[in-house]
Amino acid sequence: MKAVVFHEHGGIEKLSYQDVPTPRPGPGEVLIKLRAAALNHLDVWVRQGLSGMKLAFPHIGGSDGAGEIAEVGEGVRALEKGQRVVVSPTLSCGQCSECLDGRDNLCPDFRLFGLQVPGTYAEYLVAPARSVFPVSDALSFEEWAAVPLVFLTSWNMLVATGRLEAGETVLIHAAGSGIGSAAIVIAKHLGARVITTAGSDWKLEKAKALGADETINYKTDDFAPRVKQLTDGAGVDLIFEHIGPPTWPGDLACLAKGGRMVVCGATGGPRVELDVAPFYRRQLSIHGCYLGTRGDLEQVLELVEQGALRPVVDTVFTLKEAAAAQQKMLDRDFFGKLVLRM
């Protein structure tokens, strides 16, 4: 089969479109003929080399995929050849106390496609049956591939952890990113007021079209004072945070009393300085989120099937163009998701 692999960490030039052996499913597994795979910033970090990460080379990146069941392994009953499916980006044991209690993202064996195991930048993928979800033809394969990781994480952040309610105000950073655009869609579905940021006016226009109530260009306006102005000095109830050092000081300044912040990443760097006083004076809280659970993904997929949620696909590349797609991601010249078509 064809796949995009890298044999060592480094820049875009390390990505190679080449032939690799087609995997075979074992007991409890299925072979998926992938039709599309979506990009995430994680793909770039894995290629560049995350601190402390050890990969078996050559490595295939990619955590999101959609396609059709090509082969069913021994013991698999709930899936059959020819079914349209999406792949959960996560894998867990399904047997530990965390998994059995529905908290599989706390499983000791929690892993990701494209990180600890080969990913979706390939024509075929072997996955445990429990990590594969049947879907309809309500969306194209490219759209389905754009759903799992960002909508799973956003749902966990806004609903399961953030407890966002109708009528509350949420600040969502980086509207043009895959996760930012997904968060806007979910927050509006919940009935929240959305304030969002981006670094260009054209992205803010798209955010407005997606449902954002107020937009801020962080390159021309200091977002924290603007948020306070937009909320008549009260601040926001919830902050959807995935940037890091560039935004944290402003975040704490524009949280309302009793406000909470949910954090799933740090694209701007891993270390921040904190003034602890606002936490007890204004009773603020910070919650960490790492992807989400099977239950979260099941809820997301059901809402997508109903038409209540829909991903935003910016550009579709061929698998062979994966390097160009990653470069577009690095250039931040997109709104929503970048997708590879097989």
Q: Give domain status of residue 294, yes or no.
A: no
DSSP string, 139-193: S-HHHHHTSHHHHHHHHIIIIIIT---TT-EEEES-TTSHHHHHHHHHHHHTT-E
Residue 269 Ramachandran class (φ > 0 left, ψ -120 to 50 alpha, else beta): left
DSSP string, 126-145: EEEGGGEEE--SSS-HHHHH
Do both 122 and 19 map to the same domain? yes
Do both 142 and 125 map to the same domain? yes
Length of the chain (residues): 342
Sign, Cα dihedral of 77, 80, 81, 85: negative
Q: Give domain status of residue 93, yes or no.
A: yes
Residue-level pLDDT at 272: 85
Do both 265 and 246 map to the same domain? yes
Q: Give domain status of residue 296, yes or no.
A: no
- Edge-to-edge order in the sheet of strand 16-19: 16-19, 2-6, 59-60
Do both 141 and 161 map to the same domain? no
Do both 141 and 157 map to the same domain? no
Q: Please give the structure tokens belonging to residue 179.
A: 């996760």
Question: For residue 143, how many C-alpha atoms fall within 13 Å in the half-sphere facing its CB?
Answer: 14
Q: Give domain status of residue 270, yes or no.
A: yes
For 5, 208, 218, the CA distances from 60, given in Å and listed in that order, are: 5, 36, 35
Residue-level pLDDT at 341: 98
Q: Give domain status of residue 302, yes or no.
A: no
Residue-level pLDDT at 275: 83
Q: Give domain status of residue 221, yes or no.
A: yes
State how many domains the chain has.
2
Q: Please give the structure tokens belonging to residue 213.
A: 């109530």
Do both 161 and 261 map to the same domain? yes
Do both 335 and 198 map to the same domain? no
- Look up the CATH number of the domain holding residue 243: 3.40.50.720
Measured from the Cβ of residue 273, the count of other Cβ atoms closer than 10 Å reads 7
Do both 33 and 102 map to the same domain? yes
Q: Give domain status of residue 301, yes or no.
A: no
Do both 89 and 183 map to the same domain? no
Sign, Cα dihedral of 262, 263, 267, 268: positive
- Look up the CATH number of the domain holding residue 318: 3.90.180.10
Task: Give the residue carrying structure tokens 């390939």.
Answer: 122
Do both 180 and 227 map to the same domain? yes
Q: Which domain holds residue 174?
A: 153-288
Q: Please give the structure tokens belonging to residue 322.
A: 């994966």
Q: Please give the structure tokens belonging to residue 80.
A: 């059959």
Q: Give domain status of residue 161, yes or no.
A: yes
Do both 141 and 48 map to the same domain? yes
Do both 129 and 43 map to the same domain? yes
Q: pLDDT of 21-77, one tens digit each?
A: 999 999 999 999 999 999 999 999 999 997 777 888 999 999 999 999 999 999 999
Residues of the chain with pLDDT below 50 are none
What does pTM read for this prediction? 0.96
Task: Give the residue carrying structure tokens 């530990």.
Answer: 96
For 6, 23, 96, 215, the CA distances from 255, given in Å and listed in that order, are: 42, 49, 37, 17
